[in-house]
Amino acid sequence: MKRPRRWLLIGSITTATVGVIVLVLTTPLVSNATLLLMDRSNFIPAESSIFTFEPYAINQGSSNYWLYGKDRTYYYHFTYKDDAPYVYIPQDNRCPGFHRQDARTWCSALPGKAR
């Protein structure tokens, strides 16, 4: 193998490795993948992504599913309902007395998509 090709290969591998490390360290990808693998009832809301969804309240019982989560745009609440398993609301909502960890204060929550 000629030297320029060798350095190009080394540079490409290094760049790919650094990219993967940055992705793992700057997104909730690993924690979301772990949640999905640990409990098959877990899911990522359709409006979100495995790269951006961040659960901030997890059930402390025998199952480790999320109760409340957020991404860059919305807050989410798991409702346990078959037809709308979660509700979501924009983070910039104008609900009086809004508290992100109390869905009863969410004045204009939208139903999530059934799985």
The strand pairing partners of 90, in sequence order, are: 74
What does the radius of gyration of the chain's CA atoms come to, in whole angstroms?
A: 19
Burial of 60 (0-12, 13-18, 19+ CB in 10 A): exposed
Of the candidates 105, 55, 111, the residue with the CA atom closest to the CA atom of residue 83: 111
Query: 75 - beta bridge partners?
Result: 70, 89
Q: How many CB atoms lie within 10 A of CB 35?
A: 20
Looking at the predicted structure, is the pLDDT value of residue 1 above 60?
no
Give mean pLDDT, residues 87-112. 95
Q: What is the pTM of this model?
A: 0.74
Can you tell me the distance from the alpha carbon of 88 to that of 79, in angstroms, rounded to the nearest whole number? 10
Which pLDDT score is estimated for 21? 72
Please give the share of the chain, as a percent, with pLDDT higher than 90. Answer: 43
User: What pLDDT does 80 receive?
Assistant: 84
Confidence of residue 48 (pLDDT cuts 50, 70, 90): very high
Kindly indicate the confidence band of residue 72, based on its pLDDT and cuts at 50, 70 and 90: very high
Both tokens of 75, joined, read: 């807050």
